[in-house]
Amino acid sequence: MNKNIYLLLLAYLLLSSCLTNKKTANSQTYDFRLDTLTLFDQSRNREIPVAFYKPHIDNPKIVIFSHGYGRNEGGHYLYYSYLTAYLASKGYFVVSIQHELPTDSLIPSTGIPQIVRRPFWERGADNILFVIEELKKSNPELDFKHIALIGHSNGADMSAFFPQKYPGIVDKIITLDNRRMPLPRTINPKVYSLRSTDQPADEGVLPTDEELKKYGITIIKLPNTIHNDMDDRANKRQRKEIRGFIMTFLND
């Protein structure tokens, strides 16, 4: 066999093998366990209900999910199971945080959102940090170099706010329709956002075209999904689309 042809054939076989292995890894699913419990932050005298989705895999990367505003009704940290459970099945250690308690004040319905909602984002950021610190104690085997924050609506605003208050902790921010808190204009953490068709963001929340290029931020508008259909109300098509984009972001 001609030497050049042999080398080309060998390179092709190696490439094919790599692609096959990558495809197999991306399509692999894992068993996971769901635990719900309530953490307690003594420094703030605050309970923090959480759901842990624990995949049976060594050193998993971490996803921390923050729900949309639920008017303090409770239980909203479990309203995104189509996404949280799916990510756990793909090997991510997922923590979904209940940010609102029945005793909390309701978010004001008047005033400048970036001002009147900031205390709620501050509290959410503190909740996220507390959970991360608790995980370091209870699950030190996790991959703390790869922490992604994902949130919807008000929870997305919290996620976008977090690296401003606590820089250098997370490596990715993925928002589902944050509308009030501006997305971070940063290269690190990497920033991604999925947008609904019906609820536009406030002025200055989304980067300009120039900022998108400068910081490598990814913004994708979902053509068939409204704001309120990003939780478990999403239909089969919407769920598949959202999960697909988020997996692409996490693998980026």
Any domain includes 11:
no
pLDDT tens for each residue of 66-79 = 999 999 999 999 99
Rounded mean pLDDT of the chain? 91
Q: What gap in Å lies between CA 35 and CA 224, rounded to an integer? A: 33
Any domain includes 125:
yes
Any domain includes 8:
no
Residue among 174, 139, 169, 206 at smallest CA distance from 66: 174
pLDDT tens for each residue of 85-101 = 999 999 999 999 999 99
pLDDT tens for each residue of 147-200 = 999 999 999 999 999 999 999 999 999 999 999 999 999 999 999 999 999 999
Residue percentage of the chain with pLDDT more than 70: 90
Residue percentage of the chain with pLDDT more than 90: 89
Amino acid identity at 11: A
DSSP 8-state class, residue 1? -
Contacts of 58 (CB under 8 A, 6+ apart): 141
DSSP 8-state class, residue 107? P
Does residue 11 carry a pLDDT above 80?
no
Contacts of 165 (CB under 8 A, 6+ apart): 122, 125
Number of domains the chain contains: 1
CB 24 within 8 A of CB 40: no
**CATH code assigned at 231:** 3.40.50.1820
Q: In which band, very low, low, confident or very high, does the pLDDT at 237 lie, cut at 50, 70 and 90?
A: very high
Residue among 247, 95, 45, 64 at smallest CA distance from 171: 64
Any domain includes 20:
no
Structural domain of residue 216, as residue ranges? Answer: 29-251
Any domain includes 16:
no
Any domain includes 81:
yes
Q: What is the pTM of this model?
A: 0.89
Any domain includes 93:
yes
Q: In which band, very low, low, confident or very high, does the pLDDT at 127 lie, cut at 50, 70 and 90?
A: very high
14-23, 103-112, 174-183: range with lowest mean pLDDT? 14-23
